[in-house]
Each structure stands twice: as C-alpha cells, then as structure tokens.
Structure 1
C-alpha cells in the first residue's frame, strides 16, 4: 500500500528468467526507450512491493504463433505460484490452431487475453482476426489491447472503434489511455461503456498532469486502471507521477485497484 491505498499494477509484462534480458532489450530497441527492469518475476515482485504495489496483472504477448502455448503455460505457473498475480494469456491472430490455443488458455484458468497489434503485426480491425475476437467475446474474457504508436496505424484508436462496432459484447482494456502517441485520436474516437476500459500505462511520463486529468475525466475515472508497463518504468516514479495528478480520494481508490477488481469480477 501507499498513501493508504491498495494498489494494483494493471499492466505488467513478465518473461522466463533465461530470456528476460533479451526480451526487454528487444522491446527497448523497438521503442527506442530505456527499460528500468529486466522483466523477471522476482524482480517485479520485489521492486513493486518496495514501492507499495500490492498486486499485479501479468501478461506477455506472443510475437509468433509458436510461442502461444509456452507463454500461456508460463503465465499460468506464475499466477499459481504468486497469489498477488492475475494472469492474462495470449493468442496470435495468424494461428491455424486458434480453437486449440484458446482452449488451452481457458484450461489454464487465465483471466483474459493480451494482444499487441504492433508486435504481432496485424491491424486491430483485420477481418482475419475476427474469428479470434468472436471466440473471446463468447467466453466473456477481456482483452488487454496495446493501443497506439506514432509510427504506424496498426493499433490506431479508430481501428478499435471499428472492432467494437462489429463485436458488441467484446470487453477490452485499451492500454496507454487508449493510444500511446495517439492520445488526441483516442479521446476523439473512444468512449467508455460497460465493456471498454483504459489503463494509464506508458502515458504519465509523456503527458503533463493536466492533460492526464482531462483524459481520465473524459473517459470517467471509474473506467480507468493504474498501469505501469513493467519493466519499462520505475514503480516508485510512476506512483509519484500518479499522485501528482491530485485526483480526488474516490478517483484514486478506484483507479489504483477498485475499478479493476470490480470489472474483472464482472467477467469471471
């Protein structure tokens, strides 16, 4: 806890220890940004707890079809070993064994699906991904969707808007306040409802506090989750940035953990 609040990191990437440093180095090169940590589970738990993080939503997107089953097994093992962790599995829209992949994800009791269109190289609204969305929608599981990149439009907010029209019961967390580097477009095209939520990950270091406050209140503070995007950012620094927003006590309590807990329970 910090400042009297229970705190959940709603967006943490983890990797097996033997590949963690290589994986985070690859992410660092992709975004041309330094990484604060190495993506190891023990490191996340230690540094998070020291900063006041109580629980974690862990994930890892499959950048190739062949990674799906091993990543999901790894995430499930972490969630089983560490009760403070809730795991979202992964799928890949190019898989020719999507039904089998999704069945494995469900049998492992993973609580959602992490997708990263820019890493996985598919436009969010690609019709080839529709069978995957249909399966996820029917299950009721939520998607944690990477959103936004100033260098491409694969994860542009307008593409998510199109998917939400096609799949009226699909539940999605639009990461990075709806669009990293595309925040104005996110506010233009995306509006929270009972199935769409937003996390703050990889946004606070780039936006002035007044702009973040404006976006949170545009979406509704009750529809937003605190996310760090571990291992990219430092936990203590992200919490400092968050509290500098000077939101109300009710807004803080909701964003820092209560909103996510309630929403995930609704999808259970």
Structure 2
C-alpha cells in the first residue's frame, strides 16, 4: 500500500495566542492583565485549566506566550517557557527577549538549544517602539531561527498619546525590512487600530507577515470583523483566543457568528501548523 498515513497527513488545530501560569501565580497575573487592559479576564489563567479548555475545544496545541517587562527578567521567564515543554504535549511555549538585555544573543541560543522556536514581543509592555533601530539586530538574529509573534495596537491613539509603541504601519515596515523573519501580527494586525489595518493592508502585505485573530471579535462589530477577515490573507490568518481574556470555545463561536463556513473555520485553526513546523522540531515528530 502506498501513500501517507493518517498521522502524516493530519493537520493540527492550534490556538496560537494564549497566556498561562502555574496555579500559585495565576491569580495575581490575571488581576494585572485585567487592570492593564481594562477588561475582566473570563478564565483563571491557571495552566491546567488552559490545557483542559483547549482539549475540550478539540485543539491539538496551544502556544503559551511568555514575555518579560524588563531585561533582567528575561532569563527567568525563558526558563519557565522551557519548563512547559515537559508539562504537557499540548503546550507550545514562546520565549522572549528584550533590547535592554546585553546578553540577548546568548538568550536566543539558550531558547533554540531547548527546542523553542517562537519569540513573543510586546512593545507597549516592554517599553520600546516596534520599529526602533535598536531592535534591528535582534530581528536580524531571529530571522530564519525563530518566528516572532508581536503585540500590535493600542487605545492610546484615541487619547492623542504621542508615543505609539506598536502600530500597523510599524508592523508593515518591519516585515518589509526583514523578509526572512516570519512575523505574526497579533490582534489582526492592530488592537483597536483596525481602521489603520484596513487602510494599510487592503491591497496586500509582505509574504512573511501573518496575523492572529486574538482579542478582536469582542471589540470589533460584525461588519468590521468581516472586512478584516476578507482583507487579511486567508492562508496566513491563524486562530488565537488570547486566553485567559476569553474562553477558547467562546472565541471560536464569535468568529463563526460572522458567517465563516466550516471550511474557513477549519483553516483558521489549522493554518498555524504550516508556519510553526518550520521552527518547532517537536511538531514534525
């Protein structure tokens, strides 16, 4: 008999955007998230609860995004990320770096040697502009070694804030400047800046740029969400729940309510495997 086996052809369902902690630290972390975004988290933030919810929603993997506010915290955060590899086969952790950390090159080596192929950056939380030239050596060093998932967008634009750390325009600029770096723009390319997303990406975007759906369906009305789903490249759009802000099945239901077909929903949850297999050896096993 010829042909590939079921396991060789099966494409994993992946939630590419979650946050979780061990039980003793989850309550404080969730409270900080809720205060920081002015949005009450729906879930506990406890790692075991995430695993249970993802399995209930028939997800095969959940990317747990780890980030450090300051350079001095990076190594501890990355040790936690690496520890998740041994906790449950469903978990796919992302590590982090920070421009304030002098030894960031060593940190990338540390992550790569442990089998971690994704980096999470949150310019607003970490305190740097996405297009700051100080970040360019880090982007260059990540290119071809890691995929980068980056928070994009802010409500601060509505308040006239002069410092915008991450915008859709900055995202487009960085993706164009580093074509070998696979970038996932979180929140459909710009949280609460979807006017800019529509304007900038209406006529296409760099081939190395992907987008996740996290923390969008709750804020954007159905017409806005429908336009974003049409504008952004369907083969590079991936499902992200942003758990614990939102429950996994609730996020899936909100997206489906826009009118996506079963096939389109299936693509959203399975597109991510094609990218992540390039950087996570464990997905090819």
Q: Does 1:148 align with 2:153?
A: yes
Q: State which of 107, 112, 121 in structure 1 corresponds to 2:113.
A: 107
**TM-score with structure 2 setting the length:** 0.86
Q: State which of 224, 237, 244 in structure 1 corresponds to 2:250.
A: 237
Deviation for aligned residue 1:99: 1.1
Alignment of 1:57-76 (within 5 A): 57-76=63-82
Q: Does 1:179 align with 2:190?
A: yes
Deviation for aligned residue 1:138: 4.5
Deviation for aligned residue 1:244: 0.9
Matched residue of 1:246: which SS?
coil
Residues 69 and 104, structure 1, Cα contact 8 Å, conserved in 2: no
Q: State which of 103, 119, 125 in structure 1 corresponds to 2:125.
A: 119
Counterpart Cα distance in 2 of 1:174 and 1:236: 22
Give the aligned length. 262
CA RMSD of aligned residues (A): 1.8
Q: State which of 123, 137, 158 in structure 1 corresponds to 2:169.
A: 158
Counterpart Cα distance in 2 of 1:62 and 1:21: 18
Q: State which of 220, 228, 236 in structure 2 corresponds to 1:215.
A: 228
Counterpart Cα distance in 1 of 2:22 and 2:96: 15
Deviations 1:148-199 (A, max 9, x none): 0021521111112222232121110000000000011122224444311101
Counterpart Cα distance in 1 of 2:260 and 2:232: 14
Matched residue of 1:144: which SS?
strand
Matched residue of 2:156: which SS?
coil
Gaps of 5+ in 2: 1-10, 158-163, 281-285
**TM-score with structure 1 setting the length:** 0.91
Alignment of 1:27-66 (within 5 A): 27-66=33-72
Q: Does 1:16 align with 2:22?
A: yes
